[in-house]
Amino acid sequence: MSSASPASRWRGPVQLVAKRIGLAFITLALVSAVIFTISGLLPGDAAQEVLGQGATPEQITALRHEMGLDRPAPVRYFEWVRGIAIGDPGQSLVANMPVADIISERLPNTLVLAGLTTLFSVPIAFLVGIWSAVTRGRAADRALNIMTLAMVALPEFLVATIAVLVFSVKLLWLPSITIVPQDPTLGEFLRAYAMPVMVLGVGVIAQLGRMIRAAIIAELDRPYVEMAVLKGVSQRRLIFRHVLPNAVGPIINAMALSLSYLFGGAIIVETIFSYPGLASLMVNAVTSRDMPLLQACAMLFCATYLLLVLIADTVAILANPRLRQG
Amino acid sequence: MDDIVSTSLSRRGLLGGLASGLVLAPANRLIAQPRVGGRIRVASVASSTADTLDPAKGNLSTDYLRLYLLYSGLTQYDSKLRGQPGLAVSMETRDNILWTIKLRSGVHFHNGKALGADDVVYSLMRHIDPAVGSKVKAIAEQFKSARATGKLELELRLAGPNPDLPVILAAPQFLIVENGRRDFSVANGTGPYILRSFSPGIRTVVRRNPNYWKSGKPYLDEIEVIAIPDELSRVNALLSGDVQMINAVSPGSVKRVRASTGHAIMETKSGLFTDLIMRRDHPVTGNPDFVLAMKYLMDRELIKRALFRGFATIGNDQPISPLDPNFNPAIPQRQFDPDRAKFLLKRAGLLGTRLPVYVSPAANLSVDMGSILQEHAAQIGLQFAVNRVPSDGYWSTHWMKHPLTFGNVNPRPTADMMFSLFFESKATSNESGWNNPQFDKMLIEARHATDPARRKAIYGDMQWLVHNNGGVGVPVFISLLDGYDRRLRGLFPIPLGGFMGYTFGEHVWLDA
């Protein structure tokens, strides 16, 4: 480490990250083919769904032609991929609007919900994880363990339903559906988001908290910790200066997984709170067989996931001196 | 004309119990004076990126709701499903083919343009253009030609006679748009409310149209329409006060809504039904004895009581509900009779048959109906396998494609529409593949009849035919349940759908 010049010190990680980015693009290309094939396997198509129960075969054929669904699959696939490559996911078959417009209307909603949930749950998860790890085996740890395990085990729909029954229907404190007014005050904004954030937070806190606990405990058993303790390092300094940087790899990976879940998997919360996010948009697209929209959503979720994992890996590499050396 | 609507309003208001406690007061003072002002939010069941401001493309209940807020039709439905004058003050014909339509004067579109005959000609004839993608193209194809004969008068010539034209034209797809309008990113109608904002799949906000052609109406300042697909969430939103009206309350939730002092349920008896379809092209389900046995094997009382908690009307294996003016009450009610069913099956040599029944949440409560049928069938020696398939794609992949499936038919405003869409031999949605030349002949005959009594008699005979020989079993007609905040006044059921047949916007007001 000491003999390397600054430039060569960074060559290893940069190469690694570049390789990861390259792999991510290959993955995306493969995923696009999979998405296209699988969505093509769904029974029925947009023309049938749009025209509904009473449509005549002639009407369906005409609409199918108008939508371009009668062209061979490879032609449609390459046209779509070309569009995606230049950033144009095409025209929605059902809404007669560009897919990009539809997504850009929903994307901020999803980002706000995911962002607020992250802000709310990550600090608590760290608190729970660290506290639990340092009191390992004692009463506090056991209590926290039982709590997080219970939180992991509770299905989201149950938490959400009970929360609505208690806080909206009985106590009338919080709205049962998440409708943010056009120009909300801070109070209105927080009130609107309180319940979905709480419900999503339950799962995230529990999972992330347990990951953090496990990662820290794994480090606490290492000789360098014993050494630091023997040297008289305070517990706070031990955890934050010595242990956390070493444990950050698994923790940041767990965070990436939670975040990608919040981005595209909040379907239950979106349904129960009638919140117009991306997950329900994608379910909509499936039921109306709006393939351009469905495929664009799927690609977006996939790209986000890959991006988050990439960031997590990069942070893990940079945080760990041994990996940094390549 | 306005009178007809408002009298039925006050009468229904009384029957609906809205004015309970004031029963002794004279009829015209029963209802509190409508109050102008207030803002409400209502939640419907479905909303998606397919939401539209184009009447021709209206496809789902939320679309109908939105369209009736923004546009007006030539006619509008009353609580007995008759077409009352709307933008048209009169529609006259001698032969049910050539119709002279006179329009109301002094009606303006939201952008200030006066309503003229050319707007109506355009609105009617555009459905025929395939590029418009109209949902009612098949119905509109009977419009042979339309021409303006004056500023406020037009002639509509049909390809064949149709005495129901005034009723048909009240449908949401036939609402009137401005001449030449192609861009439906905005809504320029003559309806009670003006569009404020519209985001497909999210919300529609409308504000009061101060120049609406019915004086004094509408009453509310603003209505926001959203959709909450999950039934439990919808009911919770009502009870927590986040929305003031919802539709499609399930019978199981009625108790919860009624337990709340501030909320009530409006039952709209309707012609909606879920039917058992027995395909003619299959050797077993095409056997007349089998078909009749199945009809006897349906425990209608149990279905009404257990599945709908009483919010249903017993059906009699034909599609015209008792609400329809053309309903034939003379047909005896078919009862649950397993012994008779067993006898019929034995005669046909079909006892012991094994058959799959396809059920899906897509067809309202067919999963439960299928299970009940399976249970009763097992008792007389028929083996049904109930195959539950997902809602998604049900109509394109399963419905009518197996010997035994369930269908779900929405209320239609006229007997002619119901029969020609679902029972005429050549209809694409002829669910059982029924072929009865006598029935087809009578359908045409009724269209030519100018005497309403004669038509009623023909439709009555057609109901006999379907009841006796048709390939579908209609156990019950399903009531539609709306939940609403008690401060919302002026509601009465219109049997075509929840939210007063989706036209509640111009009738309701909010009590302070």
The pLDDT tens digits of the residues spanning B142-199 come to: 999 999 999 999 999 999 999 999 999 999 999 999 999 999 999 999 999 999 999 8
CA distance A94 to chain B (A): 5
Q: How far apart are CA B276 and CA B472, in angstroms?
A: 5
For B151, which DSSP code? T
Cβ atoms B208, B220 nearer than 8 A: yes
Question: Chain B residues with CB inside 8 Å of A290's CB?
Answer: 49-50
Q: In A, residues 113-152, which contact B (CB 8 Å cutoff)?
A: none
Cβ atoms B436, B425 nearer than 8 A: yes
CA distance B425 to chain A (A): 14
Residue B271's contacts (CB-CB under 8 Å, 6 or more residues apart) are B319, B320, B321, B323, B324, B411, B412, B418, B477, B495
Reduced to 3 states (helix: H, G, I; strand: E, B; else coil), residue A240 is helix
Q: How far apart are CA B392 and CA A288, in angstroms?
A: 9
Q: In B, residues 207-236, which contact A (CB 8 Å cutoff)?
A: 226-230, 232-233, 236
* Closest residue in A to B237 (Cα–Cα): A176
Residue A185's contacts (CB-CB under 8 Å, 6 or more residues apart) are none
Task: Please tell me if residue A60 touches chain B, with a CB cutoff of 8 Å.
Answer: no
Distances from the Cα of B31 to the Cα of B34, B35, B217, B263, B491, angstroms: 8, 11, 16, 18, 11
Cβ within 8 Å, pair B242-A179: yes
CA distance B474 to chain A (A): 18
CB pairs under 8 A between A and B: 116
Which of A6-20, B119-133, B295-309, B342-356 has the lowest average pLDDT?
A: A6-20
Q: Tell me the two tokens of residue B435.
A: 């072929």
Cβ within 8 Å, pair A92-B226: no
- pLDDT at B25 > cutoff 60: no
Tell me the pLDDT band of B108, cut-offs 50, 70 and 90.
very high
Against a cut of 0.95, is the pTM above it?
A: no
* Closest residue in A to B48 (Cα–Cα): A284
Q: Tell me the two tokens of residue B55.
A: 């009447």
Cβ within 8 Å, pair A177-B199: no
Question: Chain A residues with CB inside 8 Å of B241's CB?
Answer: 172
Q: In A, residues 156-195, which contact B (CB 8 Å cutoff)?
A: 161, 164-165, 168-169, 172, 175-177, 179
- pLDDT at B8 > cutoff 80: no
Task: Please tell me if residue A54 touches chain B, with a CB cutoff of 8 Å.
Answer: yes
Q: Among residues B338, B342, B251, B335, which one has the least CA distance to residue B300?
A: B335
* Closest residue in B to A96 (Cα–Cα): B50
Cβ atoms B76, B503 nearer than 8 A: yes
For A170, which DSSP code? I
Q: What is the mean pLDDT of residues B259-271?
A: 94
Long-range pairs, B177-182, Cβ under 8 A, ≥24: B177/B54, B177/B55, B177/B71, B177/B119, B177/B122, B177/B123, B177/B126, B178/B109, B178/B111, B178/B113, B178/B119, B178/B122, B179/B116, B179/B118, B179/B119, B179/B121, B179/B122, B180/B122, B181/B122
* Closest residue in A to B407 (Cα–Cα): A53
Cβ within 8 Å, pair B392-A53: no
Tell me the pLDDT band of B339, cut-offs 50, 70 and 90.
very high
- pLDDT at A19 > cutoff 80: yes
Q: What is the mean pLDDT of residues A6-21?
A: 74
Cβ atoms A193, A110 nearer than 8 A: no
Cβ within 8 Å, pair B239-A169: yes
Tell me the pLDDT band of B27, cut-offs 50, 70 and 90.
very low
CA distance B102 to chain A (A): 32
Rounded to two decimals, the ipTM of the complex is 0.72
Cβ within 8 Å, pair A284-B201: yes
Cβ atoms B126, B92 nearer than 8 A: no
Reduced to 3 states (helix: H, G, I; strand: E, B; else coil), residue B197 is strand
- pLDDT at B53 > cutoff 80: yes
Residue of B200, B393, B399 lying closest to A42 (CB–CB): B393
Q: What is the pLDDT of residues B462-478, one digit of tens each?
A: 999 999 999 999 999 99
* Closest residue in A to B201 (Cα–Cα): A276
Q: How far apart are CA A209 and CA A147, in angstroms?
A: 11
- pLDDT at B29 > cutoff 60: no
Range list of β-strands (E), B212-261:
222-227, 245-246
Q: What is the pLDDT of residues B377-423, one digit of tens each?
A: 999 989 999 999 988 778 878 889 999 999 998 888 899 989 988 99
Average pLDDT, chain A: 84
Distances from the Cα of A19 to the Cα of A263, A317, A322, angstroms: 25, 13, 18
CA distance A139 to chain B (A): 39
Q: What is the pLDDT of residue B509?
A: 95
Length of chain A: 326
Q: How far apart are CA B60 and CA B46, in angstroms?
A: 7
Cβ within 8 Å, pair B50-A165: no
Task: Please tell me if residue B56 touches chain A, with a CB cutoff of 8 Å.
Answer: no
Residue of A42, A177, A293 lying closest to B49 (CB–CB): A293
Residue of B131, B138, B396 lying closest to A44 (CB–CB): B396
Cβ within 8 Å, pair B201-A281: yes
